[in-house]
Copies of this chain bind each other. A is one copy, B any other.
Amino acid sequence: MLAGTEKAFQRGAAMSMTNDFSKELAAASDPAKRSWLASANEPRCDFSIQNLPFGIFSDARDAAPRAGVAIGDAIVDLAALRSAGHLSLDADEDVFARPSLNAFIALGRGAWRGVRVQLSALLDAACPTLRDDAALRERVLVPMQGATMHLPVDIPGYTDFYSSKEHATNVGSMFRDPKNALLPNWSEMPIGYNGRASSVVVSGTNVRRPMGQLKLPDQDRPVYGACRKLDIELETGFIVGNGNALGEPIACGEAEDRIFGMVLLNDWSARDIQQWEYVPLGPFNAKTFATTISPWIVTLDALEPFRVAQPEQTPEPLPYLRHAGAHAFDVALEVLLRPEGAGKATTISRTNFKHMYWTMAQQLAHHTVSGCNTRVGDLMGSGTISGPTTDSFGSLLELTWNGTRPLELESGGTRTFIADGDELTLAGWCQGEGYRVGFGACVGKILPARG
């Protein structure tokens, strides 16, 4: 190991129990930084050396799910790297050998940063440790192609918010009153509801079209049948890294320190089931059949260079929801739809996470203001992310205005809602100068309803 990177490596390890990583973290996000792994330096690669997202994978060599970090077209096997003596961390021997990241995340931000700084040094183009040691690379670097991704965390609780003003306005216009589309409480708090954690699945899991009660306009009573208005919701989600005890709210200004990182999230929705069931207690069966998340958790440290100001909030939020400074993030987002057998997917929406009215910090502060406790691994969905233009909406409900304006597909045909066999993909990335900090894909294919 050369003196410079050796020093950075050791400093990273030594500092992994403190929070003062400013220099090392800045270096890890340096736009000029390049890796000795060529695939990581491709301008459109999601997994640049500036990213280093965490996930859980298995492969043909070892069927046991374990922790990894994505770099280019490969995965760094953290358990293998640590047992090879190249990753220093004050933690249980098996912390990276477990089937979820929860134990690692529970170590706290100092540990997350320590690992980020060490990996950034090891993967740097100038660091020979892995670059020049084929046998070591063989042990610790796994090709992404052929690896199986698993849910990155055990999710003790899943909450979904409703924080896009454009989305709430669109839905209010369609189903309530276009003149008073936003309900009075919407501008005062990040409205949210409890989701179903059991049915959160990882990208690539097929999703079966749900059965349920539908109320057809020409009939007095509901019928039992397959959902006819199956939809996506383009969302992001954040993973709680440091929860709070029951009765001890998290202050808005401290909330970001509690967040480990972000994923893409598809909140599959059965619009017809939802419309019939949701009054007065909110969506239930319309949402509980599946929620898909992307497998890589992009840390807030990796997202830091892409921090931007949130939209102006009027009226000014109550004091418990105030935080100084910029708390939105510039994440480009896309939705792609590919019919079964089609060679080409159609990009049906392009939008950006920065449009969100309420910030993640405000969501977490509001969630806990009553004293509600949160736990490591809790998943908090942003709510559908719709932009200001008709091609930037985050659901088919809005893109086709409840089915009245079908979308043309590049592979031929049209769509109002999702057809059997359709594969829906969410993509998202922060665009740096010549590199990306990306999320990888969040994919799900729809299987026909059960008999």
13 A-B interface contacts by CB (under 8 A): A157-B197, A157-B198, A185-B276, A185-B279, A193-B281, A194-B196, A194-B284, A201-B246, A212-B370, A213-B318, A246-B290, A286-B370, A288-B372
Classify the secondary structure of A's interface with B. loop
Q: What are the interface flags for A284-305 relative to B under an 8 Å C-beta threshold, 1 for contact and 0 otherwise?
A: 1110111000000000000000
Whole-angstrom CA separation of A215 from B276 in the bound complex = 28
The answer to whether A280 has its CB under 8 Å from any CB of chain B is: yes
Known: A156-B197, A194-B196, A222-B318. A370 touches B281 (CB 8 A): no
Which A residues contact B (CB, under 8 angstroms)? 156-157, 159, 162, 183, 185, 188-189, 191-199, 201, 208, 210-213, 215, 221-224, 246-247, 249, 270, 273, 276-286, 288-290, 315, 318-320, 366-367, 369-375, 378, 450
Q: Which B residue sits closest to A276, measured CB to CB?
A: B185
Contacts A188-B213, A371-B208 given; does A282 touch B193 at CB 8 Å: yes
Measured in the bound complex, the distance between the Cα atoms of B224 and A173 in whole Å is 29
Residues from chain B with Cβ under 8 Å of A185 in the complex:
213, 215, 222, 276-277, 279
**Given the complex, which residues of B lie within 8 Å of A285, measured CB to CB?**
366-367, 369-370, 372
* Partner among B156, B210, B279 whose Cβ is within 8 Å of the Cβ of A370: B210
Contact: A193 with B196, CB < 8 Å? no
Q: Do A195 and B194 touch across chains, with their CB atoms under 8 A apart?
A: yes
Given A157-B196, A284-B193, CB of A289 within 8 Å of CB of B371:
yes
Which B residue sits closest to A160, measured CB to CB?
B281
Q: Quick check: B371 and A290 within 8 Å, CB to CB? A: yes
Q: Is the CB–CB distance between B370 and A270 below 8 Å?
A: yes
* One of B198, B210, B282, B290 near A156 (C-beta < 8 A): B198
In the complex the two chains form, what is the Cα distance from A273 to B189 in whole Å? 12
In the A-B complex, the 3 residue pairs with the closest CB atoms:
A282-B282, A210-B370, A194-B194
What 8 new A-B contacts, CB under 8 Å, besides A224-B318, A270-B370, A288-B367? A193-B281, A194-B194, A194-B195, A210-B370, A224-B369, A247-B289, A273-B370, A285-B370
Chain B residues with CB under 8 A of A157? 196-198
Report yes or no: A288 in contact with B370, Cβ–Cβ below 8 A. Answer: yes
Contacts of A371 in B (CB 8 A): 199, 208, 210-211, 289-290, 450
Contacts of A156 in B (CB 8 A): 156, 197-198
Question: A183: nearest residue on chain B (CB-CB)?
Answer: B279
Q: Are B372 and A196 in contact (CB under 8 A)?
A: yes
Chain B residues whose CB sits within 8 angstroms of the CB of A193 once the complex forms: 193-194, 281-282, 284
Q: By the criterion CB–CB under 8 Å, are A221 and B450 in contact? A: no
Taking CB atoms, residues of chain B closer than 8 Å to A194 are 193-196, 284, 288
Question: Is B196 in contact with A213, judged by CB distance below 8 angstroms?
Answer: no
Residue among A215, A223, A277 with the most chain B CB within 10 A? Answer: A277
